[in-house]
A = this chain, B = another copy of it.
Amino acid sequence: MRGTGSPGLCLRFQGLRLGALPVPSTPGVACRGVTRTVQWICLIYFAYVNLPSFFFFLPVFCVDNSGVGFSPAAASRRERPGVGLGREERAVQSCEQAEVGAEGTEQGQRTRGTRDWVFLRGVIGSGLCIFSKFPILDTLLYQYSLNGYPYMLQHGDWFCGKSVGLAVIKISGIVFNVYVTHLHAEYCREKDAYLPHRVVQAWELLQFIRHTSKAADVVLLGGDLNMHPQDVGIRLLRCWTGLRDAFTETKRFEGCEDGCTLIPSNRFTVKSELQPFPLGIRIDYILYKAGSSFTVKCEELQTTTGTAPGTDIPYSDHEAVMATLHVQRTGQAAGVTPGTAVPALVEVLSEARTEVRVGLLAARRQRYSSGRMALLALLLLLLQAAAALGALAGLADGQPFPKLSFALLAFLALGVLLLATGLHLFHTIEVKMLQGTEEQMRMALGVLQERPGRS
């Protein structure tokens, strides 16, 4: 492994989005008891209502040179049509043997307990998973502070508790920090109400990576970032972390044109949303970065191009992305990561800060209007109470309102009061979060402008 001329380590990093199968509570047992029909109903239903986080993003590690990989997707392929990639045939068998304990080798036993990991978060799970053939040494989950609105039930992102998961994996003495994430979806590009939230998520993601990856030899990030390659969030993320995009860096590419992962020909995608992009869009990424004494090169990048072999059903609503990375120890600790120039950092950060500010203004408006609504409802309730007390004290002749309408109105006012108060609280939290991020960005800009080098 040492020396410049050594072959290095060749790794396969595979990013999948699987269809609507609940995260298995015991790792390694991939919903074996669920019948085919139930799975199909789930798959079609959830693809239809577009609950994006109910789809898994599964980055899977496979070592190419040993020929023994691990693909949980393929592990239960026989029971799950449309899931599992044909190329992993041998990997599958090895994995299944290890899983049932038939393989008695040391490797099999060593990796048994720590081979895979499931991240849980939110009401219906975070939808994040990292499966690894190699022992996972440590994990951490960071939940983004903003993630849509609970009352946007038709989108449902809020319930999924969008997070970034980290697994520390040691392969041949090299420490890999593998991050997996899923950012808030973009439902309407022209009038994207979730853009500030996504920018905040990108900021928190880059902060989390920077703070937790200092002891890592190689950093890998895979995920559905829900951002086009030129969007402000992804530029911010790449500039600040120094992560490189496997698609732009790869030597060989095979798959959909322009590396698109959300393509119109997929039967689960919403065609109207993709009208401005006839080729589709690229929103699923594999990004990587080497530590000071390593180099990482992307040898090959692949995406799936439609349906699973022998069936007309796609693997998921997004195309899977697979990268083959070549990791090499350089021997000397040198600053391999190219530092982005300070003016570029300042520019992208200012742009991101503007987006956060726009979001802050909108959140303040919503907080104000929900507060006003709560006050009005309270006033109405107080008026009604006064009227009722007046009637009881015999101040009014007869009964000014029919009892039923009076009670209905009171209940309506109470309902509005509760709802508006809840909204007010929620938007207050949103304002705090946006303010906090804006403040952090301001501080980062200050640090940048004070010093000509990167911190």
Contact = CB atoms under 8 A, between A and B. Distances in A.
A230 interface: no
Given A119-B436, A166-B211, A143 B140 contact: no
A436 B141 contact: yes
A140 B208 contact: yes
Contact of A211 (B121, B145, B212, B429): B212
Contact of A120 (B159, B214, B435, B443): B435
Contacts of A142: 142
A122 B431 CA distance: 10
Sort chain A's interface into a size bin: 35 or more
A412 to B, nearest CB: 9
A432 B25 CA distance: 10
B450 A120 contact: no
B450 A113 contact: yes
Contact of A425 (B27, B123, B166): B123
Interface in A109-158: 110, 113-114, 117-123, 125, 135-143, 145
Contact of A432 (B123, B207, B411, B446): B123
A440 interface: yes
A392 interface: no
Question: What copy number does this chain have within its complex?
Answer: 2
Contact of A446 (B114, B207, B425, B447): B114
A455 interface: yes
A139 B407 contact: no
Contacts of A207: 138, 140
A433 interface: yes
Given A122-B429, A123-B432, A139-B440, A212 B215 contact: no
A32 interface: no
B117 A428 contact: no
B137 A447 contact: yes
A408 interface: yes
B120 A439 contact: yes
20 contacts: A25-B435, A113-B450, A114-B443, A120-B432, A120-B433, A120-B436, A120-B439, A121-B436, A138-B210, A139-B440, A139-B443, A142-B142, A143-B145, A211-B211, A214-B215, A403-B404, A404-B404, A407-B407, A407-B408, A407-B411
Interface of A: 25, 27, 110, 113-114, 117-123, 125, 135-143, 145, 159, 161, 166, 207-208, 210-212, 214-215, 403-404, 407-408, 411, 425, 428-429, 432-433, 435-436, 439-440, 443, 446-447, 450, 455
For the complex of A and B, 4 pairs with smallest distance between CB atoms:
A214-B215, A113-B446, A120-B436, A211-B212
Given A114-B450, A407-B407, A407-B411, 11 more contacts: A27-B439, A113-B443, A114-B443, A114-B446, A123-B425, A123-B432, A135-B447, A138-B210, A139-B440, A211-B212, A404-B404
